Amino acid sequence: MSRGSSYNSGGPSALPDGIARWIGVAILVFALIVFASSGTYVVQPGFRGIAVTLGKVSPQFKPEGFGFKQPFVTGIQQMSVRQQTRPMPAECYSSDLQQVKMDVHVLYRVPERSVVKIFQEYAGEPCDNLIAPRVQEAIKEVAASMSAEQIVKKREDIKTGALDLARKKIGADFLEVVDLVLYNMTLSPELEQAIELKMVQEQEAEKAKFTQLKAQIEADTAIIRAKGEAEAIQVRGQALRDNPDFIRLQILQNWNGRSPLVVGTEAGANMLLSLDELNKHTAPAPRQQPRTSPPAQPSRSK
């Protein structure tokens, strides 16, 4: 027995004291790492943490960054507080019972004061469960007060009214709906053709009104110009009658240096003729000498 026992103690299954010590140290370090990792947490940027300890939610959220928690019994759930965009389809009926389909982009964010309440009281994505149904309802209520043509023309009014109504339904202190984007509005082909025809007729009517107004303005301008010219002529004639010396001054300024001949009396009309022209008209015409026929030559007899 003594020989067998000595053989087992010195066999290959026995470990040296140094190796066993290192294994124990490694196990201890691993346990410390696991304990430390379970007692700390890191909240990513743009998120807030919700601490849950054995099924109980902490009323205070955890800010982003590094922190400590109770190991093994406390978990940290993260929720985004960044602005997000969620597309969704929407349809509504106008006041004239026409169906209008559109695509909507909802821009929203979860305020950090609401992360604990939303996590504790509502399940799933906040936009799908809280925001989208209210936005759909708000769009339908606003569109029901307008015709299909007005919905197409006044898209900005639809957006503004639906955004304000959705904020009231959701609550500004609970969730923040930043904006709504409406696009790809579709109507029935018949209704689109009718609206397009009406818009063309309205544009033609506006063009006709503009042409009529332009003609009226041009006519008024011509009348005003004619009245102004008539008044100017009247004022100028009165000024010439009041200042006859002005006419003489104009004659002297335009005189070319030749002596004029005045024909007429003061009571009648005056005619100005230059002496050269007068001599040209009064000069006698040169006399023409009568032609004499040559004397007849006697005929020669053969």
Q: pLDDT by residue (tens digit) across 63-78?
A: 999 998 888 889 999 9
More confident residue, 257 or 88: 88
Q: Which residue has the higher pLDDT, 237 or 252?
A: 237
Query: Looking at residues 48-61, what average pLDDT do you find?
Result: 92
Domain check: are 171 and 92 in the same one?
yes
Average pLDDT, the chain: 79
300 lies in a domain?
A: no
| Domain boundary, last residue among 58, 80, 102 | 80
Query: Where does a domain end: 187, 219, 238?
Result: 187
What's the structural domain count of the chain?
3
Same domain, 73 and 88: no
Same domain, 109 and 134: yes
Shared-domain flag, residues 36 and 107: no
pLDDT in tens, 274-296: 555 555 555 555 555 555 555 54
The CATH code of the domain that includes 133 is 3.30.479.30
Considering the domain architecture, whether residues 121 and 177 belong to the same structural domain is answered as yes
Residue with tokens 């004659």: 251
Q: What is the CA radius of gyration of the chain?
A: 55
The verdict on residue 272 lying in a domain is no
- Domain-located, residue 260: no
pLDDT of residue 302: 39
Mean pLDDT value of segment 87-96: 89
| Domain span including residue 62 | 17-80
Place of tokens 């936005």: 135
Clarify whether residues 60 and 72 are in a common domain.
Answer: yes
Which helix (H) or strand (E) is 77 found in, with range? strand 74-80
The secondary structure of 213-281 as a DSSP string is: HHHHHHHHHHHHHHHHHHHHHHHHHHHHHH-THHHHHHHHHT--SSPEEEES-SSS--EEEEHHHHHHH
The token pair at 172 is 């500004």
